[in-house]
A and B are shown apart, each in its own frame.
Chain A
């Protein structure tokens, strides 16, 4: 920037600046008269702008070197006015730049305008943006501000600043839009009001907020002006838009991080506005309709809100879970949420079986005692009502709707002609189908919620910003959390440094192999034990259970439950050998427990299969006996069959088959019961009594029980979740043969909810090993899915391959259970459907269909792979872009810093000139300005013009002596409106926003 040109124009500038100075002098004290000042300022600006525009038209001399151009671009932000004046005098600036600047400003104005219009949908980021814009503006007006000498406080100043910038924006806007002269008056009104508003609004709300609010105010004012006048269609349209904007604002108000007072105010204003002008929009007939529509929409909103409230009130145990959440953090609560979800699923399953199978059979099927399968046999009759028998689900319980065997093979029951066997079959299929659907849907939703963020890029930031669980309201949990966060930090640091090395890798390896070997032994042992016990119990059953005690009868279940209880502890001990990272150790532990449970379950099933085969052999014998018995009943008349026995013999006396389906169902029910009991007993002993002992014996014990050996138990989230999952697996497996299982499970879960909530709250301490809730959710669901698949496999196998018993259950008399579909198709549907079905089930059609599915899966898989690759590429692109931006920003910031310095110096020079011309200013001031000038010169050492001489003669010794740097509040070089931060930082921030 040619400095000597500036010198020639000194007098002119000084007058201008003086006028400004006077303005500020007279008004900044008196807020009441600020309005006039504002108008004056505005007018002055307008004048300036006009002049500027004029200037832009004049042709400049394109004699500047290229190097200086970008510099000026930045300078424009700060020293714009000064430049403006320079140009005015010299008139040798490049023309294109000037035009460009005006363009820019116009654009800025327009943008501002747009922003004003869409205040309703402003986001945080935009607010940030605005703030930075403000700062930019602040920079722009650094000079004006500097001239305000008698300033009281910075806040007041800031506010003035805001309004001032807006004034400028408005005038620019006007220029751009070529508006008429009568509008500014209206605007002025708006400003007046705004000023007052800004004065009265609370001190704490930040700058941008005030601005926003006042903008709305202004908009209001404008709208009033329009409505008062005639309503032309465009205006009507505009008004409508405004009303819509307000509505939008109201609906999005809650996502704004404002204080409630402000939100309330805005809401009220907007509502008033909407109410006031909504009616004006519709005319004549349309008006009524419109009002009606508005009213209805209001009612609908209210209804929706109430419904929402009702819905949240209906979620069961919400308060309980929140209570636990606030004590133990979200990971323990995640177990209870999982439990509640399980409960919901089981309620649905229960509804299916209860509504479509049990109730119809109980109400419309043949009553108890009418046919053999519905009667307790004579041999069992004596103790059929004993509690011990009923507890085992024998006696009357066995011959009831609870089990498969009770159901009759009548094709239809009751006056509704309810297809009982078909219904039974379809409910079985539906249970499995529904379970699959619900689990997969939940998994997909969880995956969505997690957003698929990769955990490597923000490892430390996440650990810092998101590791605190704000729900924790218990000091003990908080202490644990502190400790765990510290460990996490330390681990992360160590991992980052990668300085961790295994001291004895061979020993560790050996120990790990040993541990795995031990675990395998445990698993095999437990499997064998279960197999052995099941075989033994078969022997007992053959010999007649009544000869044995309680233990022999419940051996299988008890052994399974005990194994499930103690093996995990054993694994825990073994895993301490391995010296894994806690997270890895937890995964191993979970995997091992999973294997154990799975192994146990499958051994159990294999043993059951053996038993089924035994029963079927027995069945053959019974069938033979049956014919013998019938023969004896009819004195050798072998030809007559089935109708006869029901007349002559009591159904209790009729010999019957062993009915393996009921046996399977019974086994599962017993297993569930004993599992439940073990859980509860463990809870009671392991948690409650332990807590009691620790709590009360601590007074008279030789060591500290609370801190020492027994201490209180922790709530084992993963173990409990696993238990729940396996329990559900057993339900799925057994539900086909015992329709009562879902009902039992609902009961169990219900009790569990209360019991465990109580136990957790009263006798558990929060766990130390914190397991992240969100990360594990899908892990649990995946396990559930695996279990679901594994448990449906045997059920499907038995249904499809093993022929049903001949004298019990809804499918008796058929060779396969699946035949019920065939039968229905043949008898209940028109013939062509059967034909279609047979075609469809033709392997020739099924094979291509399967092939198609495989192809589709392959296609989708490859597409997802491509997307992943695409995502990765995008990320890479972003990163390179980032790098580039960083570099650019660095350069820009450096330049901006220089420019800012320059601008400051220039303005201080101007001030100096003015002072020297008009009144005798103190020497001190001059010296300071002088020093600024030195700074300027120093930093622009490459510039072509010599400025030294100008100040040299007036004050040579000061010029050389004073250090250029110090510049604080009160000194002329400092910009009072700005918080004192380095110029480079400011500039960089503004650059970031672009």
Chain B
């Protein structure tokens, strides 16, 4: 694997270190993992890896938000959730141990914002709860429970009472949570 790691130029590596919360080893590891995906692909300067391949990573495989995560971090024009290496680093940086609460909550908000409209409305929350409770019928909440739950959530966190949770409200709620930072982590 020495061959693949040396592909990353030194100055770029140091820039990546400057710009992310990752250490040198983590960046190299990420590069190694990422170049496993791109090996068979074309050799363009910044190859994109389709979302389906990224989702095969064991770290993401059982995450209910995996598709959203890819879509949020993707810089692709066609919104297909494909990632370049830099997007991938962004992802890992936001989910790393040392990332700040601000950046984590920002990305968490975007992940939960399923329709990308900048606020969490009832539909987003319903999707979110459905993601959390899994796909099987025995764990899914009933319609009544769902309605109750969503209204409770909005009751608590929708400070300006416009029926949606916006980013600042979300961050306000999250910043007081004891275990958000410790659980919002993905480690390669």
Give, as a whole number of angstroms, the nearest-CB distance from A905 to chain B: 25
Q: In this assembly, does B58 line the interface, its C-beta being within 8 Å of a C-beta of chain A?
A: yes
Contact assessment for A465 and B179 in the assembled complex, using a CB-CB cutoff below 8 Å = no
The answer to whether A458 and B183 touch across the interface, beta carbons within 8 angstroms, is no
Which of B86, B131, B145 sits near A493, CB closer than 8 Å? B145
- How far, in whole Å, are A781 and B102 apart by their CA atoms in the complex? 28
Q: By the criterion CB–CB under 8 Å, are A882 and B182 in contact?
A: no
A305 to B14, CA, bound (A): 9
Would you list which residues of chain A between 492 and 530 have a CB under 8 Å from chain B?
492-493, 496-497
With A255-B102, A257-B106, A466-B179 as contacts: A124 and B149 at CB distance below 8 Å: no
Does B75 contact A204, Cβ atoms closer than 8 Å?
yes
The answer to whether A485 and B149 touch across the interface, beta carbons within 8 angstroms, is: no
B155 CB, min distance to chain A CBs, angstroms: 8
CA distance A886 to B169 in the complex (A): 14
Within the complex, what minimum Cβ distance (angstroms) separates B163 from chain A?
A: 9
Q: How far is the CB of B22 from chain A (nearest CB, A)?
A: 10
User: Within the complex, what minimum Cβ distance (angstroms) separates B49 from chain A?
Assistant: 14
CB atoms of B86 and A486 under 8 A apart: no
> Do B62 and A477 have beta carbons less than 8 Å apart?
yes
Which residues in window 305-334 of A have CB below 8 A to B? Answer: 305-306, 308-309, 312-313, 322, 325-326, 330
Determine if B148 and A493 form an interchain contact, defined as CB atoms under 8 angstroms apart. yes
* Separation of A350 and B90 alpha carbons in the complex (Å): 43
B54 to chain A, nearest CB (A): 14
B 143-188 contacts with A by CB, 8 A: 145, 148-149, 152-153, 155-157, 159-162, 166-168, 170-171, 173-180, 182-187
B179 touches A261 (CB 8 A): no
Give the chain B neighbours of A992 by CB distance below 8 A: 160
Determine if A62 is an interface residue (Cβ-Cβ < 8 Å): no
Known contacts A253-B18, A255-B103, A259-B87: A458-B62 contact under CB 8 Å: no
Residues of B contacting A322 in the complex (Cβ-Cβ under 8 angstroms):
187
Given the interface contacts A473-B58, A988-B162, does A489 sit within 8 Å of B145 by beta carbon?
Answer: yes
A425 within 8 A of B: no
Given contacts A259-B90, A267-B15, contact A775 B133 (CB under 8 A): no
**Does B37 touch A at the CB level, under 8 Å?**
no
In this assembly, does A925 line the interface, its C-beta being within 8 Å of a C-beta of chain B? no
In this complex, which of B15, B102, B141, B178 has the most chain A Cβ atoms within 10 angstroms of its Cβ? B178
Known interface pairs A479-B134, A482-B133; A124-B102 also in contact (CB < 8 Å): yes
Known contacts A330-B183, A470-B95, A255 near B100 by CB under 8 Å? yes
**Residue A450 is within 8 A (CB to CB) of chain B in the complex:** yes
Q: A468-B132, A493-B145 are in contact. Are A259 and B179 (CB under 8 A)?
A: no
- A254 partner, pick from B19, B159, B175, B186, beta carbons under 8 A: B19
- With a cutoff of 8 Å between Cβ atoms, the chain B residues found around residue A496 in the complex are 148, 152
A885 to B162, CA, bound (A): 12
Let me know if B108 and A312 touch, CB within 8 A: no
Residue B21, interface by CB 8 Å: yes
A827 within 8 A of B: no
Chain A residue with the shortest CB-CB distance to B151 = A460
In the assembled complex, which residues on chain B have CB atoms less than 8 Å from the CB atom of A774? 178-179, 182
A257-B107, A482-B132, A886-B160 given; A308·B75 CB < 8 A: no
The chain B residue with its CB closest to the CB of A306 is: B24
The answer for the CA separation of A863 and B29 in the assembled complex, in Å, is: 50
> How would you classify the secondary structure of chain B's contact residues: helix, strand, loop or mixed?
helix
Please give the distance in Å from A362's CB to the nearest CB on chain B.
Answer: 40
- A124-B171, A889-B160 known; A473 and B75 CB under 8 Å? no
Q: Chain A residues with Cβ under 8 A from B117's Cβ?
A: 979
> Which A residues, 634 to 648, have Cβ-Cβ distances below 8 Å to chain B?
none
Q: Cβ of A773: which chain B residues have Cβ within 8 Å of it? A: 179, 182
Interchain nearest-CB distance for B9 vs A (Å): 13
Contacts of A473 in B (CB 8 A): 58-63
Which residue of chain B is the closest to A268 with respect to CB atoms?
B15
Cβ of A472 < 8 Å from any Cβ of B? yes
- By beta carbon, the residue of chain B nearest A992 is B160
A255-B100, A465-B170 known; A470 vs B183 contact (CB < 8 Å): yes
Q: Once the chains bind, are B139 and A483 in contact (CB under 8 Å)?
A: yes
**Given A475-B61, A489-B149, does the pair A885, B134 have CB atoms closer than 8 Å?**
no
Bits for A552-567, please: 1 = Cβ < 8 Å to B, else 0.
0000000000000000
List chain B residues, Cβ under 8 A from A492: 149, 152
The distance from the CB of A66 to the nearest CB of chain B, in whole angstroms, is 28
Whether A254 touches B156, Cβ cut-off 8 Å, given contacts A124-B171, A267-B15, is no
**A interface, CB within 8 angstroms of B:** 123-125, 128, 131, 202-204, 250, 253-257, 259-261, 263-264, 267, 302, 305-306, 308-309, 312-313, 322, 325-326, 330, 449-451, 453, 457-462, 464-475, 477-479, 482-483, 485-486, 489-490, 492-493, 496-497, 772-775, 882, 885-886, 889-890, 979, 985, 988-989, 992
The chain B residues found within 8 Å of chain A, CB to CB, are 14-15, 17-21, 23-25, 58-65, 75-77, 79, 84, 86-87, 89-90, 93-95, 100, 102-103, 106-108, 112, 117-118, 125, 128-129, 131-134, 136, 139-141, 145, 148-149, 152-153, 155-157, 159-162, 166-168, 170-171, 173-180, 182-187
- 27 A-B residue pairs with CB within 8 Å: A125-B167, A202-B75, A204-B75, A204-B76, A253-B19, A259-B90, A260-B84, A261-B86, A313-B23, A330-B183, A453-B178, A458-B157, A462-B180, A464-B149, A469-B183, A470-B65, A471-B186, A472-B62, A472-B63, A473-B61, A482-B64, A482-B133, A482-B139, A496-B148, A496-B152, A774-B179, A979-B117
Known: A257-B107, A267-B19, A466-B183. 9 other contacts (CB 8 A): A259-B75, A260-B90, A330-B182, A458-B176, A462-B177, A464-B128, A465-B180, A485-B133, A486-B134
